[in-house]
Amino acid sequence: MSATKADLQGSCHSLTESEVWLLLKKVSHFLAERNIESYVVGGMVRDTLLGRDTADTDIAVAADALEVASEVATAFGGKYVLLDKVNRIARVVLVAEEASSTQAQRTLDFSTFSGSIEQDLARRDFTIDAMAIGLKRIIEPPYPISDPTVSARLPGLIDPFHGRDDLQRGVIRAVADTVFVSDAVRLLRAVRLAAELNFSLDKPTEALIRRDASLITSVAGERIREELLRLLVVSGDGQCLPYLDELGLLMAVLPELAETRGVEQPPEHFWNVFEHSLQTVKAVDFMLRRGDWEHAGEETLAAVPWSVELAQYFDREVSGGSTRRILLKLAALLHDIRKPQTKALDGNRIRFLGHAEEGAATVADMLARLRFSSQEIKLVETEVRHHMRPTQMSQEGLPTNRAIYRYFRDCGEAGIDILFLNLADHLATRGPHLNLANWQEHAQMVAYVLSQYCQEESIVHPPRLVDGNDLIRLFAMNPGPTIGEILEAVREGQASGEVTTREEALALVERLKKKNA
């Protein structure tokens, strides 16, 4: 069974520091009994030095890591997952017996090294991840995992490339000038690590990325997907995607975006299509209370509906490590992807007729190329296809119940997400020229639709009063599309309040049958 790191990231709880130590202690004894030389490397060492919690435990062994991982999984009742057969990397998912929750898990990634551990570290990507400590040493008292004060000295640290110094300086530095040629996914990982840690790339490493950016096209789609998702997790000042673009990586990963650069929009738009797309991503984080918006303040945000339930909704996992918030940001980046191809002049007005529908198809192809799951693709595709629908529900005043029904019928599970994408689109359209009164009216409409969705189940999902069998039996209708059309008309009548009983539903069927005769 093969998998990426994101494949096993679910809703399970992380172990406490003491639980992690107990697991490592058992694994250390297990390996020592077999005379297997082992080291903790990479992320766990880095994060221990930083005093941060870590989700990564990478163990390098002077043996076949696939065999070692399989034996560890069997011995401790864990799950074995093959990550990379060629490079001999495997994962074990363990549940601690002493864990406070039966769902508490820890993943251990085993890799093979030959020669010395220093030679293995020389093949790694960045200095802050090219540090190691013997597994025996890291579990000895005083425990560096449990005692942050030990992190400053971390006895037994093997640090041939001065990674600890780079941690103190807040710098991401390549171990060698061949790191990206060896594995091009490191191009994205460098930017992602800098964003997650709030570090900067040192100038030589930045130059190497610019030089080797085109190599990212050779990386398997699923590995790009994982790094892209982790980049989109990062909230804050919204500079992550622009920085990717500056380095030449964004267009290499998503070449369809290139045509949006510099494309002029109607006067109500403050930015061109490409800049507008980047700003929409930033506006999504603002809407979801994950970042700032320099062109608006608390008064703007206060108009947007929010609740604990909505926060939980957008944090909900969709598939393989993605959440609704992450995928909404991806939809925001790509929602106008086909504007360049649909741009036309209608008199003196610029129009983009059909760009949402064409964009949805393009986005589906892009995400399939990057090995997103069918569930993820459907969600983002629907968000792109219907991103203008909320403002089309009513030309004046609040939308009718019939309009709300049709909206959720067409948008399905993406209905709530699209409401927030539509708000973010508004912000990124007006930018510093935002009209507060118009904005508040827009936000009020979204709040109303949400309240109707949450409080009036009969509007979105009206109870079935008649079905196809009724139409065939009572009205002698033949099976076919007409039956579906009439049943849909009955559901719309229910949503609008015009039909409330079975008798009224049957009467409407009779009228529609006569009209279609």
- What would the pLDDT profile of 471-481 be if each residue is shown by its tens digit? 777 777 778 88
Mean of per-residue pLDDT scores for the chain: 87
pLDDT at 284 over 70: yes
Do 77 and 186 have their domain in common? no
Cα separation, 507 vs 65, in Å, equals 72
Looking at residue 384, its pLDDT comes to 98
- Structural domain that includes position 230: 170-253
| Amino acid occupying residue 139 | I
Q: What is the pLDDT of residues 165-180, one digit of tens each?
A: 999 999 999 999 999 9
Do 233 and 302 have their domain in common? no
- Domain of 46, CATH number, reads 3.30.460.10
pLDDT at 375 over 60: yes
| Boundary-marking domain end, from 253, 275, 290 | 253
Confidence class for position 22, pLDDT limits 50, 70, 90: confident
pLDDT at 490 over 70: yes
Do 280 and 327 have their domain in common? yes
Cα separation, 256 vs 192, in Å, equals 22
Which three-class secondary structure state does DSSP give residue 123? coil
pLDDT at 508 over 90: no
Looking at residue 235, its pLDDT comes to 80
pLDDT at 517 over 70: no
The fraction of the chain above a pLDDT of 70, given in percent, is 89
Confidence class for position 440, pLDDT limits 50, 70, 90: very high
Confidence class for position 459, pLDDT limits 50, 70, 90: low
pLDDT at 164 over 60: yes
| Boundary-marking domain end, from 402, 423, 452 | 452
Looking at residue 56, its pLDDT comes to 66
Q: What is the pLDDT of residues 390-405, one digit of tens each?
A: 999 988 889 988 899 8
Least confident of 88-92, 147-151, 234-238, 302-306: 147-151
Residues β-bridged to residue 475: none
Mean pLDDT is highest, among 154-163, 238-247, 500-509, for: 238-247
Whether 313 maps to a domain, the answer reads yes
Do 187 and 320 have their domain in common? no
Given 3-state DSSP classes, what are the helix, strand and coil percentages for the chain, each rounded to the nearest 5? 55, 10, 30
Whether 417 maps to a domain, the answer reads yes
Do 95 and 180 have their domain in common? no
Q: How many domains does the chain have?
A: 4
Question: What tokens appear for 26 in the block?
Answer: 């058992």
Alpha-helical segments (H) within 183-271: 186-197, 203-212, 221-233, 240-246, 250-253
Q: What is the pLDDT of residues 26-64, one digit of tens each?
A: 888 999 999 999 999 988 889 888 888 776 689 999 999
- The arithmetic mean of pLDDT across residues 310-339, rounded, is 95
The length of the chain is: 517
Whether 458 maps to a domain, the answer reads no
Q: Which residues contact 327 (CB under 8 A, 6 or more apart)?
A: 318, 376, 379, 380, 383, 417
| Boundary-marking domain end, from 117, 135, 169 | 169
Cα separation, 83 vs 222, in Å, equals 12
Residue 445, Cα to own-chain centre: how many angstroms?
27
Determine phi and psi for 458, rounding to 5 degrees: -65, -20
Do 316 and 330 have their domain in common? yes
- The arithmetic mean of pLDDT across residues 498-512, rounded, is 79
Do 279 and 410 have their domain in common? yes
Cα separation, 129 vs 24, in Å, equals 19
Residues β-bridged to residue 59: 40, 110
Do 385 and 411 have their domain in common? yes
pLDDT at 267 over 60: yes
Looking at residue 332, its pLDDT comes to 98
Looking at residue 23, its pLDDT comes to 79
Confidence class for position 103, pLDDT limits 50, 70, 90: very low
Do 430 and 473 have their domain in common? no
Whether 276 maps to a domain, the answer reads yes
Looking at residue 471, its pLDDT comes to 77
Do 185 and 151 have their domain in common? no
Confidence class for position 414, pLDDT limits 50, 70, 90: very high
Cα separation, 224 vs 202, in Å, equals 23
Pairwise pLDDT comparison (476 vs 184), residue with the higher score: 184
Whether 427 maps to a domain, the answer reads yes
Do 235 and 279 have their domain in common? no
Do 293 and 433 have their domain in common? yes
| DSSP line for 420-450 | HHHHHHHHHHHGGG--HHHHHHHHHHHHHHH
Cα separation, 247 vs 148, in Å, equals 36
Whether 460 maps to a domain, the answer reads no
Q: What is the pLDDT of residues 105-124, one digit of tens each?
A: 678 999 999 889 999 999 99
| Amino acid occupying residue 466 | V
CB atoms within 10 A of CB 420: 26
Whether 488 maps to a domain, the answer reads yes
Whether 185 maps to a domain, the answer reads yes
Q: Which residues contact 329 (CB under 8 A, 6 or more apart)?
A: 232, 281, 284, 285
pLDDT at 185 over 90: yes
pLDDT at 183 over 90: yes
Dihedral sign, CA of 32, 34, 36, 41? negative
